[in-house]
């Protein structure tokens, strides 16, 4: 479509800096696992190099974009790049939701003797469990791993009340959904060219995201204090992995929104040309939907 | 200790809870569709794509707020029950 010349990027040193950062991070991490004294600090150094690389490289891209060095072909490649990144994110969360559904719908009931599993010759569920872990009852949330306990009479599933759905989880859902609303207002303001409204709604979105993270940390403290840990059976594992990775994504989203706010202040966008905003906005809406899914499938259904 | 049995969402004993679950899941699916539609708009770009993206995201957030209110109200009315305690299934 475009008659413009094919864009050729100039040479750059950022990729090699990224490689050094990743290598340093993993060397540090591996040694940290082996209990080597300097492991942790080397890993920290590697992560710092990575952050430096990200800001440096993306900063270069922003400068080139603002200076009008990009044509429509580059614009399309950005859009496709963002959509592939999103695809990988969707697959990432699909795997964790899949693990939750698999454990809850299939594997835990099987251990309890349901369906035609490998012990289908058994005449009752009670007989089925006898062959694996005697006395095992398929319960949800399953908070103890059957192999670790149960053999010696330890209860399979301790009956503590889990985090109250009406408390922090509901509040956090409200906060995150409100941030989705404020971001939609910001999006509208940007498209309508209302600069002050845009800045106001962006700040509101960032503040709501930070509030969400604060309450999430409080909820973790509460759950951990109640005895729910990463090792608390399949429920504890899926709970912390899903909500933990979600919280990590909210953190990334807050950082990206802050960068976008900075770029708005710098005047990088106009009502027709704001792909960076669109990419980050979609990401925030996605993280919002993931939370809604978590709220429904972990806390309700 | 007769705990109230809590069946998984695809086979609920309670008809009201089952109907509510289907409604909730249907709304989630529409939300996912509008999010996907926004993505297509973003990839397309230009005035048209940008418009499509914004409108889809507006539908997505409106439905999400509706779903949240529906969940809270259903929980309050006892149509659905939260996963707050250990509930044996046998």
Q: What is the pTM of this model?
A: 0.82
The number of domains in chain A is 2
**CA A39 and chain centroid, separation:** 26
Full domain range(s) for residue A42: 1-70
Task: Indicate which of A157, A278, A297 best probes the interface with B, i.e. most B CBs within 10 Å of its own CB.
Answer: A278
Of A300, A151, A161, A144, the closest CA to residue A226 belongs to A161
Residue A286, C-beta contacts closer than 8 angstroms, at least 6 positions apart: A86, A89, A90, B35
Q: Examine residue A128 and state whether it is found in any structural domain, yes or no.
A: no
Q: Three-state SS across A188-205?
A: HHHHHCCHHHHHHHHHHH
Which pLDDT score, from 0 to 100, does residue B73 have? Answer: 86
> What percent of chain A has a predicted confidence (pLDDT) above 90?
45
Domain borders along chain B are 18-77
Backbone φ and ψ of B33, nearest 5°: -65, -45
* Same domain for A87 and A189: yes
Report, as an integer, the average pLDDT of A137-154: 58
- Please give the residue that has the higher pLDDT: either A116 or A11: A11
Domain end, chosen from A21, A50, A70, is at A70
pLDDT in tens, A241-279: 988 999 999 999 999 999 999 999 988 888 888 889 999
* Same domain for A90 and A61: no
Q: Examine residue A122 and state whether it is found in any structural domain, yes or no.
A: no
* Band of residue A127 on the pLDDT scale cut at 50, 70, 90: low
Interchain CB contact of B57 with A (< 8 Å): yes
Tokens of A263: 């770029």
* Same domain for A98 and A4: no
* Same domain for A214 and A255: yes
Q: Examine residue A167 and state whether it is found in any structural domain, yes or no.
A: yes
Q: What is the CATH number of the domain that holds A219?
A: 1.20.120.80
Average pLDDT value for chain A: 83
pLDDT beyond 50 at A1: no
* Same domain for A1 and A92: no
* Same domain for A23 and A165: no
- Please give the residue that has the higher pLDDT: either A124 or A142: A142
Residue A201, C-beta contacts closer than 8 angstroms, at least 6 positions apart: A182, A183, A185, A186, A189
pLDDT in tens, A198-245: 999 999 999 999 999 999 898 888 778 777 777 777 888 888 898 899
* Same domain for A185 and A41: no
- Please give the residue that has the higher pLDDT: either A193 or B78: A193
Cis (ω within 30 of 0) for the bond into A141?
yes
Q: Examine residue A242 and state whether it is found in any structural domain, yes or no.
A: yes
Q: Examine residue A85 and state whether it is found in any structural domain, yes or no.
A: yes
* Same domain for A289 and A196: yes
Q: Which residues of B touch A286 (CB under 8 A)?
A: 35
* Same domain for A179 and A88: yes
Quick count: other Cβ atoms within 10 Å of Cβ A17?
17
* Same domain for A45 and A13: yes
In B, minimum Cα distance to A159 occurs at B86
* Same domain for A97 and A185: yes
* pLDDT winner (highest mean) among A1-15, A46-60, B5-19, B64-78: A46-60
Of A24, A123, A234, B24, the closest CA to residue B32 belongs to B24
Q: Which residues of B touch A188 (CB under 8 A)?
A: 54
Which pLDDT score, from 0 to 100, does residue A38 have? Answer: 94
Tokens of A25: 């991070």
Q: Is A142 helix (H, G, I), strand (E, B) or coil?
A: coil
pLDDT beyond 60 at B5: no
**CA A7 and chain centroid, separation:** 34
Backbone φ and ψ of A139, nearest 5°: -125, 160
Rounded to two decimals, the ipTM of the complex is 0.79
Q: Examine residue A27 and state whether it is found in any structural domain, yes or no.
A: yes
Residues 29-88 of A with CB under 8 A from B: 75-76, 79-80, 82-83, 86
Backbone φ and ψ of B36, nearest 5°: -65, -40
Q: How many CB pairs under 8 A join A and B?
A: 132
* Identity of the residue in A75, A162, A181 whose CB atom sits nearest the CB atom of B65: A181
The mean-pLDDT minimum among A124-133, A276-285, B55-64 falls in: A124-133
- Please give the residue that has the higher pLDDT: either A164 or A133: A133
């Amino acid at each position: 479509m475009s008659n413009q010349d094919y864009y050729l990027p100039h040479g750059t040193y950022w990729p090699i800096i990224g490689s050094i950062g990743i290598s340093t991070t993993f060397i540090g991490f591996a040694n940290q696992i082996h209990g080597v004294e300097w492991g942790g600090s080397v890993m920290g150094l590697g992560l710092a190099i990575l952050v430096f690389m990200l800001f440096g490289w993306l900063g270069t891209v922003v400068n080139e974009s603002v200076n009008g060095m990009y044509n429509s072909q580059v614009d399309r490649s950005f859009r496709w790049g963002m959509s592939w990144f999103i695809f990988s994110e969707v697959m990432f969360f699909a795997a964790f939701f899949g693990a939750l559904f698999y454990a809850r719908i299939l594997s835990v009931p099987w251990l309890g003797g349901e369906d035609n599993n490998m012990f289908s010759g058994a005449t009752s569920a009670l007989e089925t469990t006898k062959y694996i872990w005697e006395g095992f009852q398929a319960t949800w949330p399953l908070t103890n791993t059957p192999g670790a306990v149960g053999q010696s009479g330890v209860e399979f599933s301790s009956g503590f009340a889990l985090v109250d759905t009406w408390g922090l989880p509901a509040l956090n859902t409200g906060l995150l959904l409100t941030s989705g609303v404020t971001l939609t207002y910001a999006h509208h303001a940007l498209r309508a060219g209302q600069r002050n409204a845009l800045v106001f709604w962006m700040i509101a979105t960032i503040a709501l995201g930070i509030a969400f993270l604060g309450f999430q940390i409080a909820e973790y403290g509460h759950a951990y204090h109640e005895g729910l840990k990463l090792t608390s059976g399949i429920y504890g594992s899926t709970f912390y992995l899903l909500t933990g990775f979600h919280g990590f994504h909210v953190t990334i989203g807050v950082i990206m929104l802050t960068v976008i706010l900075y770029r708005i202040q710098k005047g990088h966008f106009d009502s027709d040309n704001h792909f960076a905003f669109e990419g980050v906005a979609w990401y925030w809406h996605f993280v919002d939907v993931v939370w809604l899914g978590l709220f429904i499938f972990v806390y309700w259904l | 200790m007769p705990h109230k049995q809590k069946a998984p969402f695809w086979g609920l004993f309670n008809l009201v809870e089952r109907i509510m679950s289907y409604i909730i899941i249907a709304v989630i699916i529409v939300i996912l569709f509008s999010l996907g539609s926004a993505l297509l708009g973003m990839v397309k770009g230009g005035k048209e794509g940008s418009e499509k993206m914004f409108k889809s995201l507006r539908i997505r957030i409106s439905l999400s707020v509706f779903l949240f209110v529906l969940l809270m109200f259903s929980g309050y009315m006892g149509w659905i029950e939260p996963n707050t305690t250990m509930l044996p299934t046998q």
